[in-house]
Amino acid sequence: MRRWPCIAAAPGAAFVLVDTALAIAIGNSSVFVPLLVIGPLVAAALASPRCTLGVALLAMACALPLGLADNRFLSAEHMGEVLAVAAGGVLAVLAAKGRRSYEEALLNERAARRRADFVGRAGQLLDAPPEPEAMLREIVRMAVPDMAELCIVDLVHDGALGETTAYATNPRTLEMLHTSRVHYPLDPAGPHPVAVVARTGRPHLQDKIGAERLRAFAVDEQHLKLMSGAGYATSLAVPLIARGRTIGVLSFMRFGGAAPYGDGDVELAAEVARRAALALDNARLFAELRRTEGQLEAVLANLAAAVTVQAPDGTLVYVNQAGAEVLGCSSPEEVLATPPARTSPPRCSAVFCRRACPRCRASPSPRAFAPPGRRARWAATSTTSSASATHGWSWWATSPARGPRPPRPPRWRATQCAPRPCTSARRAPCWRG
C-alpha cells in the first residue's frame, strides 16, 4: 500500500479507459462521454482525494478528444458533456475529502475509546491481588495488544536493574527476550533505553528503530543478530515512580510495519505508568505489612503475659493465647467471636468495678490506666468464664501502648496485663482508690 498509494483508485481509472475504448470502437461519443463521470465517483469511494483528482483529470483528458470520433469536437453538445464530466470530477473530489474526514474522525474516536479503556484498566490495578508478583503480571498484560505487541517491566532496586516481567502476543518474542536478558544483562550505566529511563526518570521514545540504533545497544555481533531478528519497529519506555523514587521501568514495543509511537502515546503511557506504580507500591507495602504482622503475632503468641489490643471505642481487636486463657477461652479466635457481654475485657473500668463489687460502689473507682507521665496502677477486676460460667477476681497491672502520634485526649490502644491471684488483702488497696 505504501509502494502504490493510489492502488485503490485503479477500478475508477480502469472504468474510464474501458469507456473511452468502447466510444472509439463504436464511433459514438454522445453515449459514452457522460459515462466517464462514473470513474471519479468510484475512485472517491475507495481512494484518497489526491488519487480521486487524478482519475477526474484522466476522465477530462479522455472526454475532450472523444468528440473527434463522431465529428462533434468542441460543439455545444460536446462541450456540455465535457463540463458534466468536469463537474462530476469536482463532486468526486469533494466526496473523497468528506469520506476521509469521516474515517479519520471515526478512527480518532475509536483510538480515544481504546485509550480511555486502557487508562481505566490501569486504574483497576488497585483492585488486583495485592501480591507484587501478581501485580506485575497484571501490568504487562493490560497493554497487549492494544498498546503494544510486547510489554516489559524492569524493576529497579537502589539504582540497579532487577527482575524482569514481560508479556507478548507471540511466545517466540518472550523466548528471544529471555535469551537476551540472560546472556546480555542490561548495564545500568549503558545507553539502553531502560537504563536511561532508570537513571533519569524521564520517558524515552524511539519512533523508528534501525540497524544503527540496534548497533548502539548491542554488546557483540551475536547480540546484534538476536535483536535484528526480532524485528523491532518502535519503542516507548516510561518510569514507574512511587513516593518520589523510581521503582521500575515500563516498556512498550511494536514490531514489523506497526505505526510508530508519538507524543500522544507518551502522555498516555506516563498516565498508565503513574497508576501502575501506585498499585505496585501498594502491593509491596501490603506484602511487607503482612510479613511484619506475622512476625509480631508470632512474638506475642509466645509471651507468657496476657496481651490485648483494643480500638478507641473499647472493641477488642487482638488477644494472644495467654489473654484468651485468662478470659476463659481456649483460643484467641474464640475470644474475638464471643459477645462482649460474656467476657470481661482485661482492663478495670470504673463502671464495671462498681457493678461487680458491692464494696466498690460506695468507694472511689479504681484507676486501671495511668494518666500520661504517671506509672500504671494495679486494679482488681472481675472475670466471667464463657466456658464454665464461673465468676472470679483477678489482679491486673495495666499500661498504655501508644501509637506514634497519640490523639488528644489520649486513647488507650493496647494493654499488657500480668494476672496474679487476687486476695482480700490485695483487693483492699484497689477499693480504696
- pLDDT tens readout for residues 120-131: 777 777 676 678
- Whether 299 maps to a domain, the answer reads no
Place of cell 474501458: 18
For 382-398, the pLDDT digits (tens) are 444 444 545 444 444 44
Question: Given this model, what pLDDT does residue 231 score?
Answer: 86
Above 70 in pLDDT, residue 215? yes
The cell numbers describing 238, all together, are: 516510561
C-alpha 294/C-alpha 285 separation (Å) is: 14
Please give the average per-residue pLDDT across 338-367, as a whole number. Answer: 43
Above 90 in pLDDT, residue 375? no
Residue range of the domain that includes 253: 130-287
**Cα angle 135, 136, 137; round to 5:** 90
Question: Given this model, what pLDDT does residue 347 score?
Answer: 41
Range from 46-60, 328-342, 343-357 carrying the lowest mean pLDDT? 343-357
Q: Provide the domain count of the chain.
A: 3
Question: Given this model, what pLDDT does residue 341 score?
Answer: 54
- Whether 292 maps to a domain, the answer reads no
Residue from 111, 97, 3 nearest 56 by CA: 97
Q: Which helix (H) or strand (E) holds 234?
A: strand 232-242
- Whether 294 maps to a domain, the answer reads no
Asked if 327 and 319 count as a contact pair (C-beta separation under 8 A), the reply is yes
- Whether 119 maps to a domain, the answer reads no
Place of cell 494472644: 320
Same domain, 208 and 77: no
For 259-317, the pLDDT digits (tens) are 899 888 898 899 889 988 998 998 888 888 888 888 887 777 777 777 877 777 777 77
Length of the chain: 433
- Whether 198 maps to a domain, the answer reads yes
Question: Given this model, what pLDDT does residue 253 score?
Answer: 93
Same domain, 153 and 280: yes
3-state secondary structure of 111: helix
- Whether 1 maps to a domain, the answer reads no
- Whether 178 maps to a domain, the answer reads yes
Same domain, 103 and 39: yes
Same domain, 262 and 200: yes
Q: pLDDT category, 201, cuts 50, 70, 90? A: very high
Contacts 24+ apart (CB under 8 A), 299-308: 305/416, 305/417, 305/418, 306/346, 306/416, 306/417, 306/418, 306/419, 307/414, 307/415, 307/416, 307/417, 308/345, 308/346, 308/414, 308/415, 308/417
